[in-house]
Chains A and B, each alone.
Chain A
Amino acid sequence: MTASNIPTDLLYTRDHEYVRIGADGVAEIGITDFAQGELGDIVFVELPAAGTAVSAHAQFGTVEAVKAVSELNSPVTGEVVLVNPRLDKEPALINNDPYGDGWMIRVRLADAKARDGLLSPQAYATQIGG
């Protein structure tokens, strides 16, 4: 098994989501390389529409791989401003490029405390035994 890729410029959750917080207060969210590797071939992803409110630690969507449905939990609180339009037809992008073309949603953060409770790359690496 190859070691999972854990970019150092992102923050993480214990549930294997990542967050890329931009200077404009918008966070890009997806699942980690470790998570996609554990799930296997992703065949479907269900995501909220733009304008939907999401809450930290609450479910925002589902992903299906190997006939298993797993819940996706939001790392942050805010409003969905953009959903990756390619994932509907190309869910395998999550496997092939989880931190790039496989991003899932962009969320405008509700407040400045969005980073609270998120894991550093080092802490996430420790959690997954990397």
Chain B
Amino acid sequence: MTSRWRLLFTEPLDGIDNMALDHALLARAARTGECVLRVYSWASPTVSFGRHQRTAGTYDHIALAVVRRPTGGRAVLHAREATYSVTAPVTRPLRATYAGINSLLLDALRRLGVDAALAHATSSPPPDAAPCFETATEGEIVVGGRKLAGSAQWRNGGALLQHGSILIDDDQSLLGPSTTPPATLRAALGRAPTVHEIADALFDAARATLDPDATPLVLDPEVCADVEKFRALYADEGWTWRA
């Protein structure tokens, strides 16, 4: 990849703002041709649903904040984790893009001292299957065969958004009984790294493998205006609750 990369760390936001900002960064990628690696977290524990998941009648009982992502995949509880997003122009096929970003995650995790690997091929689960961290799909990050990071993607208007969660601790059981608990950074490292520490590892990996001149991104008025515009979508009950 020879694209120009920018790096962005954001303080904890609620689900609506987190999704609106990722959406605005996708629009920025389409507009500028630049790629952005963002690392973020959540102001309170939040369940995010996949774009096509049925939620009404299934998740109504959850007493946590909820938001629907623009990306595919299944439900994720965002609590003790570091979340990343990559926004970029579409230059490669879907699986090649996943492979490239997963390699970045793997590099960053190894910098933290985690003995992580890429999962082997499995069939792709439908959006209404079990929660996201139950199964790893091909190329996702696993430790000891259990999923540590889950990712999903959206392609629109010549740009892509891929975002995902790297678990520091396991809170996924709050979504329901789990047959295969995920891996966590705490278990892998014997301690819980901070989101800042994980962000530094990701940014170091990006500078080492993608763009040695990657610089911090300062949000410009156009991105901020887009965030305001997209907030309305992610706050819409009709978008979130789908039968």
* Contacts from A to B (Cβ < 8 Å): 38-41, 43-44, 46, 62, 64-71
In angstroms, Cα B72 to Cα A21, docked, is 32
Asked if B51 lies at the interface with its beta carbon under 8 angstroms from chain A, I say: yes
Interface residue from B51, B71, B124, B154 paired with A40 (Cβ < 8 Å):
B124
In the complex, 20 of the A-B residue pairs with CB atoms within 8 angstroms, ordered by the A residue number, are A38-B94, A40-B95, A43-B126, A44-B52, A44-B126, A64-B50, A64-B51, A64-B127, A66-B94, A66-B138, A67-B124, A67-B153, A68-B71, A68-B72, A68-B155, A69-B52, A69-B70, A69-B71, A70-B94, A70-B156
Asked if B157 lies at the interface with its beta carbon under 8 angstroms from chain A, I say: yes
> Beyond A38-B94, A43-B125, A43-B127, is A67–B52 a contact (Cβ under 8 Å)?
no
A64 touches B95 (CB 8 A): no
> Max chain A CB contacts within 10 Å: which of B124, B125, B154, B155?
B124
B124 touches A70 (CB 8 A): no
B152 touches A67 (CB 8 A): yes
Interface residue from B123, B124, B153 paired with A69 (Cβ < 8 Å):
B153
Interface residue from B72, B93, B157 paired with A67 (Cβ < 8 Å):
B72
Asked if B9 lies at the interface with its beta carbon under 8 angstroms from chain A, I say: no
B73 touches A67 (CB 8 A): yes
B95 touches A69 (CB 8 A): no
* Contacts from B to A (Cβ < 8 Å): 50-52, 70-74, 93-95, 98, 123-127, 137-138, 151-157
Q: Distance in Å from the Cβ of B17 to the closest Cβ of chain A?
A: 21
Q: Distance in Å from the Cβ of A42 to the closest Cβ of chain B?
A: 9
